Structure 1
Amino acid sequence: MSATVFNNRLRQILLLLVIVLLAILLLKQLYIFLPGFLGAITLYILLRENYFHLTIIKKWNKGLTALLFILASLVLIAVPVYFAIQMVTHKVSTLLNNPTAIIENAKIVGHKIESLIGIPILTDENLMTFQKKATTIVPTILNSSANILSNFAIMFFLLYFLLSNGRDVEKFLDRFIPLKEENIDLLSNETKTMIKANAIGIPILAILQGIVATIGYWIFGVSDFMLWGFLTGVCSMIPVVGTAIIWVPLTAYFFAIDRTSSGIGLLIYSLVLITNIDYVARLTILKKLINVHPLITIFGVIVGIGLFGFWGVIFGPLLISYFIILIKIYINEFGVAKDAPIT
């Protein structure tokens, strides 16, 4: 290797090192806004085909069309999230302003469980600790609300840029992705499929389970059934345990306060309807949309929530799919055929 070639390689490595270090530094400083970036990418992939159809085929104005799409996204996403946060914050504040009722109900349940298994679950010390920690819930929710609002602002700002300059961004990425054309297409198709499946499919399933749960809670006399139904829909996105995080304690509470008929009814309703509506929806209205292996979804959500927060339900499964697809691409790019002679 000549000195010139060696110097060029060294300059290349140093430049790549600087780029990587700057990328890490920027990511570290902007990590709090990562959900906003991921949300913008998600919405762009969902909206790009319709946007290009209107602006290229129909000759609509790019800026005004982008604003129209952002307004529609704001109505469909941001407004429901805002009202959900308001509802949860109000209910939690109301409960914490009257902690006596919570403590008394907790004691009833604790004594009932203790009488059944013979082991004390809730002591006075545990309840005092819970009460102290509960006072931090509302400030935490308010801080989270501010974070969510700032991420929404970043998301819609970046979405406008992506829609207005989408073609240029895609051409830029095509130039710098070091893969064969067919592998770039494979990666692109996998990204669109996974994002559409998770960004549309998972919220639809959560809404369905939330509605079914709300109806059941209303039928069997659960207090604040709207709040518990909403929380059930949210918890449906949690792998493995899902909606049981909500309806199991509610059922146990009914048994603890001797409302046995309501407890039995809610238990049967939850096992038959709340739990199984997920499978019914997957086999009917979402069959064509969600064609993702359940293990990819389960482990993807577990990984994604830890990395990306709420958006992890979309990008977690996408990461695992990327891992699998990149192995296929590596084999396609650099692999040796099985029947090739070993040298």
Structure 2
Amino acid sequence: MRLWSLRSTSLSPIPISLAIAPTSLFFLPFFVFFRFITTPQLYYTQIYKTFLNPENILSIFKFSQSTPNVPGKQSKERKYFALFILAILALFFFYASFPLLLGISGAAILYVLLKPIYLKLEGKLGNKCLSAVFALLLSLLLIILPIFGIAYLAFIDISDFLANPENIAQFASVFPDETLLDAEKFVKGHIMEISNFATGLSLTALDTTVSILVNLTVMYIILYYLLTENKKASRAMKNILPFTKKNTEKLASEFSNVINATFLGNGIVAIMMGVLFGTGLYLVGASNVFFWTVAGTISAIIPIIGMQIVWIPITLYYIFEGSYFTAGAIALWGAFLSYIFDGYTRQFVQKKIAEIHPFVSIIGLIIGVTYFGVTGIIIGPLLIALFVLIAKIFREEYLLSWS
């Protein structure tokens, strides 16, 4: 069974190897290692001969005593030493740039999404720099600013709710008196811990804000040069990747399909479901409609689980409150969106753009959120998909030829 099925898109047929340039840097040690050993005549024993042979390890540190540019054993020693230095520097680069992974991945994603627009602008304007600036401004207006605007409005909505004592009293009235007494005792007994937690949360929020701003800056710097120097960087990536020209172009094409399936396909469906869900909440007179609309949109991105994690708790809240009509209407509308609308709409949109198996998305989300936090929603599926793509092409190019 295939992990996913990818279909071609309407993007430019020009090879877009550069799309994987930023993310592929993190796989550089893997590429270099297999570039050196993947020849049929060396096979698996080359690992021992190259890295575990004591003579080779000692020769790395003795090579400087040999005569430069002498063919044979001395040139091989220099190759070992160059490989050793390259691996160390690649590992250091991975470690040092790990906090910037969101910016690097974001640049790769936006490059794939903006490249067709950039090429059209370049054809009309005839200026690379000006075309890239317009493309960056377009992404800022249509993607970045709306995301920050929605997050800010949701934050204001939550703040207004918490600042109103009547809202808190209404929310607390849902729970039994015994539960509220236990909660009050817990708060009084752990007041210092709660205060320290709140202080730490504020510092974390400040650190996260600075990190996001730095990543945004890095993302746009990388994206600018990806767009303006796309041909040079594309040739460089083709030389770095340990695959044939055909497989490199195949990797770039399928990687662009993964990005379109993840961010265009799922994004369009999630926005549609979020807007419809919010409209339903507004019509039945639910409170905090904007916040729940944003929450529903975000949850709709998650495969399999989806919007159920939003509309089920809201339904239970109104049941406990005694608003049975509102609860029933929200339950019916949420079930329709989750079980009927989602399935048909997602299938239709993915046929028009590209399709990715839910297994890849949900595993990527779990791993991404575990190791990268909220940003893992973006990074996780991308890295998992890239790993599977590279493994698939590596198998076709090397392992099948050995069998």
Once residues 372 and 127 of structure 2 are traced to their aligned partners in structure 1, the CA distance between those partners, rounded to angstroms, is: 34
Give the residue type in structure 2 aligned to 1:76: L
Give the residue type in structure 2 aligned to 1:44: Y
Residues 1:225 and 2:289 aligned together: yes
- Map of 1:87 onto structure 2: 153
Structure 1 residues 243 and 162, CA gap change in structure 2 (3 angstroms): same
Q: What do the CA deviations read for 1:99-138 (whole angstroms, capped 9, x no partner)?
A: 7843x455433329x9xxxx99964345666975567666
- Map of 1:64 onto structure 2: 130
- Map of 1:75 onto structure 2: 141
Give the residue type in structure 2 aligned to 1:70: L
State how 1:224-303 maps to structure 2 within 5 Å. Answer: 224-303=288-367
Count of aligned positions: 332
Once residues 400 and 211 of structure 2 are traced to their aligned partners in structure 1, the CA distance between those partners, rounded to angstroms, is: 49
Instruction: Give ranges in structure 2 of 5+ residues lacking alignment.
Output: 1-48, 50-55, 60-70
TM-score by length of 1: 0.83
CA RMSD of aligned residues (A): 3.2
* Greater Cα offset, 17-26 or 291-300: 17-26
- Map of 1:184 onto structure 2: 248
Q: 1:47 is matched with which residue: 114, 122, 130? A: 114
* Greater Cα offset, 41-50 or 211-220: 41-50
Q: Is the 8 A contact 2:118 2:132 kept in 1?
A: yes
Residues 1:20 and 2:87 aligned together: yes
- Map of 2:63 onto structure 1: none
Q: 2:390 is matched with which residue: 309, 314, 326? A: 326
- Map of 1:124 onto structure 2: 184
Once residues 241 and 285 of structure 1 are traced to their aligned partners in structure 2, the CA distance between those partners, rounded to angstroms, is: 19
Structure 1 residues 151 and 318, CA gap change in structure 2 (3 angstroms): closer
Once residues 334 and 252 of structure 1 are traced to their aligned partners in structure 2, the CA distance between those partners, rounded to angstroms, is: 55
Structure 1 residues 121 and 153, CA gap change in structure 2 (3 angstroms): farther
Once residues 200 and 104 of structure 2 are traced to their aligned partners in structure 1, the CA distance between those partners, rounded to angstroms, is: 29
Once residues 99 and 134 of structure 1 are traced to their aligned partners in structure 2, the CA distance between those partners, rounded to angstroms, is: 20
* Greater Cα offset, 144-153 or 216-225: 144-153
The 3-state SS of whatever aligns with 2:213 is helix
How much has 1:75 moved relative to structure 2?
0.3
Q: What do the CA deviations read for 1:72-101 (whole angstroms, capped 9, x no partner)?
A: 111001211221222133233334445784
Residues 1:11 and 2:91 aligned together: no
Structure 1 residues 169 and 214, CA gap change in structure 2 (3 angstroms): same
Q: What do the CA deviations read for 1:184-207 (whole angstroms, capped 9, x no partner)?
A: 122111111101111211221221
Structure 1 residues 151 and 188, CA gap change in structure 2 (3 angstroms): same
Residues 1:38 and 2:105 aligned together: yes
Once residues 46 and 187 of structure 1 are traced to their aligned partners in structure 2, the CA distance between those partners, rounded to angstroms, is: 16
Structure 1 residues 141 and 238, CA gap change in structure 2 (3 angstroms): farther
- In percent, how many aligned pairs have the same letter? 27
- Map of 2:173 onto structure 1: 108
- Map of 2:38 onto structure 1: none
Q: Is the 8 A contact 2:266 2:346 kept in 1?
A: no
- Map of 2:276 onto structure 1: 212
Structure 1 residues 126 and 276, CA gap change in structure 2 (3 angstroms): farther
Give the residue type in structure 1 aligned to 2:176: H
How much has 1:215 moved relative to structure 2?
0.7
The 3-state SS of whatever aligns with 2:309 is helix
How much has 1:68 moved relative to structure 2?
0.5
Q: Which of the pair has the greater relative contact order for Cα pairs under 8 Å at 6+ separation?
A: 2
Structure 1 residues 303 and 33, CA gap change in structure 2 (3 angstroms): same
The 3-state SS of whatever aligns with 1:285 is helix
Q: Is the 8 A contact 1:196 1:289 kept in 2?
A: yes
- Map of 2:33 onto structure 1: none
Q: Is the 8 A contact 1:93 1:138 kept in 2?
A: no
Once residues 333 and 85 of structure 1 are traced to their aligned partners in structure 2, the CA distance between those partners, rounded to angstroms, is: 45
Q: Is the 8 A contact 2:158 2:291 kept in 1?
A: no
How much has 1:296 moved relative to structure 2?
1.8
How much has 1:232 moved relative to structure 2?
1.3
Instruction: Give ranges in structure 1 of 5+ residues lacking alignment.
Output: none
The 3-state SS of whatever aligns with 1:109 is coil
Once residues 100 and 28 of structure 1 are traced to their aligned partners in structure 2, the CA distance between those partners, rounded to angstroms, is: 50
Q: What do the CA deviations read for 1:283-327 (whole angstroms, capped 9, x no partner)?
A: 323322132122122222222333455554454334333333333
TM-score by length of 2: 0.72
Structure 1 residues 134 and 272, CA gap change in structure 2 (3 angstroms): farther
